[in-house]
Amino acid sequence: MAGKRKDKDNSSSDDSSSEDDIKKKKLKTNTPLIKVSVTSNDNKNKQLTDILTELSVFEKNKGQVHRFTAYRKAVLSIKAYPHEIKSGLEAQKLDGVGAKIAKKIDEILKTGDLKKLKSQNQDETLTAINQLSRVTGIGPQKAKSLVEEGIKTIDDLKKIKNTLTHHQQIGLKYFSEFEQRVPRKEIEVFEKLVSNSLFSIDPNIISQVCGSYRRGLESSGDIDILISHPNFTLEMKDKKKTFNIIEKLVESLKKKHILIDDLSLGPLKYMGVCKLVSTEISEQHIARRIDFKLIPYESYYFGLLHNTGSDEFNRQMRGIALKQGFTLSEYSINKLSKGVKNETPILVNSEKEIFDIIGMEYYPPNKRNL
């Protein structure tokens, strides 16, 4: 996009020798990440994972966080398994698949369905909560509250739209469009439009489309773009001093009729709605969700790692970092000493250096689809 930082894995540094030692030392870990790229094409057990994923969503919307997490963990293990599962007993060999989930797997393999899921689908309250939660800006608790008030469908929601927050109204307005995935080739067009606008603002701005797009998938739920500038530092962010890059970018894209609605606008982040104009590509265009995030220059690779995902990949990587005595965030990596974080962050010049610091094998973006 509008300029990119080059990785400098072998670059010299004036940092302290202790920091250099941390970077050079390959630490060992007993909890490596799953070593496969998990996409729908790799999944040998799609029927199992689809049903268990649907069940996990119901549990999440009921507020059963532990059950949701348990199902999600099982789904990730099953997706990564390179063979077709023939029984619950076979599945129990996988991380996160216990006796109860194994029993459900046997039922799915035998009947092609799950009695518990059928029961959930027949529960009008749960079904309504599940549907309303799909509107951006409405979480499970808000959906539950709405259902208790007699609001059970999208049509019901439209009748009371004036009582909703601005964010929820936008989610309702574009509900059917936001439900559709964004094709990769469409994101490529947005990427070029944003890159050109940023370059016209300042040629030194760097940016990158993140999320599932950067992980190489053919479609995405929305468009997430990370932005930075050599003069925007951690110190400036912490002292609330900000550039007006986001504001200028939004103004530029509105003039081009690319941004059509706003969710929120601040100096560090914009959330909104975009749509290609008819002259871009020949297909019929629909509204898409788009976010811009401005991040300090020292944090660029940490932000890139975090915003690329996947969520599960990030969770596992942060866990490994903690076991190796570090705390990892989207802004920095810091050494821990007796559980206390060293306030001086370790600087890096590439994503790979972050992996090296915690002794973890490097995974390129297309291998992070966990």
Query: 63 with 118, same domain?
Result: yes
Residue 24 lies inside a defined structural domain of this protein: no
- Tally the domains of the chain: 4
Residues 315 and 348 occupy one common structural domain: yes
pLDDT tens, the chain, 370 aa long: 666 665 444 333 333 334 444 444 444 444 454 343 344 457 899 999 999 999 998 888 888 889 998 999 899 889 888 999 999 999 999 989 999 999 999 999 999 999 988 888 888 888 899 899 999 999 989 999 999 999 999 999 999 999 999 999 999 999 999 999 999 999 999 999 999 999 999 999 999 999 999 999 999 999 999 999 999 998 887 777 778 999 999 999 999 999 999 999 999 999 999 999 865 555 679 999 999 999 999 999 999 999 999 988 999 899 999 999 999 999 999 999 888 999 899 999 999 999 999 999 999 999 998 7
Q: Do 199 and 256 belong to one domain?
A: yes
151: domain CATH number is: 1.10.150.20
CATH number at residue 46: 1.10.150.110
Is residue 166 assigned to a domain? yes
Residues 57 and 114 in one domain: yes
Q: Domain range holding 44?
A: 32-122
Q: Are residues 149 and 190 in the same domain?
A: no
Q: Could you tell me if residue 85 is inside a domain?
A: yes
| Position 10 in a domain | no
Residues assigned a catalytic role: 104
Write out the chain in H/E/C secondary structure.
CCCCCCCCCCCCCCCCHHHHHHHHCCCCCCCCCCCCCCCCCCCCCHHHHHHHHHHHHHHHHCCCHHHHHHHHHHHHHHHHCCCCCCCHHHHCCCCCCCHHHHHHHHHHHHHCCCHHHHHHHHCHHHHHHHHHCCCCCCCHHHHHHHHHCCCCCHHHHHHCHHHCCHHHHHHHHCHHHHCCCEEHHHHHHHHHHHHHHHHHHCCCCEEEECHHHHCCCCEECCEEEEEECCCCCHHHHHCCCCCCHHHHHHHHHHHCCCEEEEEEECCCEEEEEECCCCCCCCCCCCCEEEEEEECCHHHHHHHHHHHHCCHHHHHHHHHHHHHCCEEECCCCEEEEECCEECCCCCCCCCHHHHHHHCCCCCCCHHHCCC
Tell me the two tokens of residue 362: 């490097």
252: CATH: 3.30.460.10
